[in-house]
Amino acid sequence: MPTAAVSVVTGANSGIGRATAIHLASAGHTVYGTVRSVAKAEKLNAMAGAAGVEVNLVELDVGNDDSVRTGFEQILGDAGRVDHLVNNAGVGGNAVVEECSAEFFLDVMNVDLCGATRCAQAVLPQMRERGSGTIVNVTSVAGRIGAIAQAPYVASKWALEGISEQMAQELAPFGIRVAIIEPGVTKSAIFAKNVDMPAGTGAYDAHYRRMLQMYAAGLNHATDPFEVAETIREAIETDAPRLRYTVSWGGPELVGGRARMTDEEWVAIGLAPDDAGYIKAFGDAFGLDIST
Q: In what order do the strands lie in the sheet with 176-183?
A: 55-59, 30-35, 6-9, 84-87, 133-138, 176-183, 244-247
178 CB-near residues (< 8 Å, 6+ apart): 134, 135, 136, 137, 164, 167, 168, 171, 243
203 CB-near residues (< 8 Å, 6+ apart): 98
Of 89, 27, 83, 28, give the one whose Cα is nearest residue 58: 89
* Residues 73 and 116: beta-carbon distance below 8 Å: no
Choosing from 32, 153, 208, 215, which is the catalytic residue? 153
Say whether 153 is catalytic.
Answer: yes
- Residues annotated as catalytic are 153
